[in-house]
Copies of this chain bind each other. A is one copy, B any other.
């Protein structure tokens, strides 16, 4: 019996993640979250909280919500049959390729910024001496 049965209210999660109630409700509406209910009130369990974290991580990466939904959906897919597994592996490969391209873009941009910074510092040097 793992005693870690803590739950969260919608405001608690919103404050923790720095988002609004509307956003959380919207994510549920879009099928990204499926919190339990106590009457009409939403009750968020540990799994819901983790999923919300994944959604926000996807957002920080600039993915649209329906893409994020697919990615997260991959995580909690049941083993299933061989065809499903092959399809899933294919999807994983696609996401990986996408993410690696993004990393290349990031590295290129960081490199550009580094160049720019060098030039800036050189200019400062010239002006201050």
- Complex Cα gap A24–B80 (Å): 46
Contact between A85 and B116, CB atoms less than 8 A apart: no
Among candidates B86, B99, B121, residue contacting A106 with C-beta atoms closer than 8 Å: B99
Bound complex: CA of A12 vs CA of B49, how far in Å?
A: 48
In the bound complex, residues from chain B placing their C-beta under 8 Å from that of A99 are 106, 109-110, 113
A3 within 8 A of B: no
Instruction: For residue A27, give the distance in angstroms from its CB to the closest CB of chain B.
Output: 18
A95 within 8 A of B: yes
Measured CB to CB, the nearest residue on chain B to A108 is B57
Q: Which of A62, A86, A99, A100 has the most CB of B within 10 A?
A: A62
Q: Does A39 contact B (CB under 8 A)?
A: no
Residues from chain B with Cβ under 8 Å of A71 in the complex:
109
What residues of chain B lie closer than 8 Å to A85, measured between beta carbons?
120, 123-124, 127
CB–CB B120/A92 < 8 A: yes
B-binding residues in A (CB < 8 A): 57-58, 60-63, 71, 74-75, 79, 81-82, 85-86, 88-89, 92, 95-96, 99-103, 105-110, 112-113, 116-117, 120-121, 123-124, 127-128
6 closest pairs, A vs B, by CB? A62-B62, A79-B123, A85-B124, A92-B117, A57-B105, A99-B106
